[in-house]
């Protein structure tokens, strides 16, 4: 798992050998999809897609890497539960900048990919721009001097990130992506500190 820390927000990338089975692909392609705008992604209407037992293999892969991110990058003991999961289809279409509400950690798993497709994460300002908002003369872009970070998508790529991080996808090709959101769950704080909370 490689991690870029874009102005304090960790984005982790894993690349695995992955090919959809015929059954998985049939289920995903036969879902009902909608698109909000011309040239936008098709997004599945089912937002609890990974509850389907036929997709358990995909659910387990995503859950494994999200928990690795929580345990090894965020280094928190709290537990997670999946709250939403959906698939998107792109064919030379784009998905405008957005972040995921009602979620703590998000995961994108690229099940199929052909052509030049990319995802761009944005913090709005780089770390050095937050210190002084100057028009810096940058030698080489890195996670301290960049406000955006772009990843070229490959089949079998898994990206895990904090859900409040803005991102968009620009696609000059075709792809099938599975997305999932996770929220923190369990008991927090202590009664004697007036902080006890159960989520
Ligand atoms: Fe997204």
For the stretch 134-145, pLDDT in tens is: 999 999 999 999
Listed in sequence order, the residues at least 6 apart from 107 whose beta carbon sits closer than 8 Å to its beta carbon are 62, 65, 66, 158, 159, 160, 161, 179, 180, 181, 182
- 18 Ramachandran zone, left/alpha/beta (phi>0; psi -120 to 50): beta
Residue 177 · residue 111 · CB < 8 Å? yes
| CATH number for position 64 | 2.60.120.620
Distance from residue 191's CA to the centre of ligand 1 (Å): 36
**Structure confidence at residue 118 (pLDDT):** 97
Distance from residue 99's CA to the centre of ligand 1 (Å): 6
Distance from residue 46's CA to the centre of ligand 1 (Å): 15
> Mean pLDDT score of the chain, rounded to an integer?
96
Q: What is the pTM of this model?
A: 0.94
Distance from residue 176's CA to the centre of ligand 1 (Å): 13
Range of the domain at 20: 2-198
* Per-residue pLDDT reduced to its tens digit, 38-84: 788 899 999 999 999 999 999 999 999 999 999 999 999 999 999 99
Domain count of the chain?
A: 1
* Per-residue pLDDT reduced to its tens digit, 8-48: 999 999 999 999 999 999 999 999 999 888 788 899 999 99
Q: Return the H-helix or E-strand segment holding 153.
A: none
**Structure confidence at residue 38 (pLDDT):** 78
- Find where tokens 């406000």 sit: 147
Distance from residue 193's CA to the centre of ligand 1 (Å): 36
């Amino acid at each position: 798992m490689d991690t870029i820390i874009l102005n304090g927000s960790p984005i982790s990338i894993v690349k695995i050998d992955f090919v959809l089975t015929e059954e998985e692909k049939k289920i995903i392609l036969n879902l009902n999809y909608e698109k909000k705008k011309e040239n936008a992604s098709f997004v599945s209407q089912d937002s609890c897609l990974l509850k389907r037992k036929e997709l358990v293999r995909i659910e387990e892969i995503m859950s494994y890497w999200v928990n690795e991110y929580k345990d090894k990058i965020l280094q928190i003991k709290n537990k997670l539960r999946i709250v939403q999961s959906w698939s998107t289809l792109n064919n030379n279409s784009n998905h405008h900048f957005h972040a995921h509400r009602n979620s703590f950690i998000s995961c994108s798993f690229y099940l199929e990919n052909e052509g030049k497709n990319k995802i761009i994460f944005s913090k709005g300002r780089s770390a050095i721009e937050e210190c002084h908002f100057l028009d810096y003369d940058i030698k080489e872009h890195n996670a301290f001097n960049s406000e955006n970070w772009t990843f070229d998508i490959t089949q079998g790529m898994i990206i895990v990130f904090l859900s409040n991080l803005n991102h968009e996808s620009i696609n000059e090709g075709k792809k099938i992506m599975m997305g999932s959101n996770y929220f923190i769950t369990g008991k927090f704080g202590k009664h004697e500190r007036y902080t006890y909370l159960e989520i």
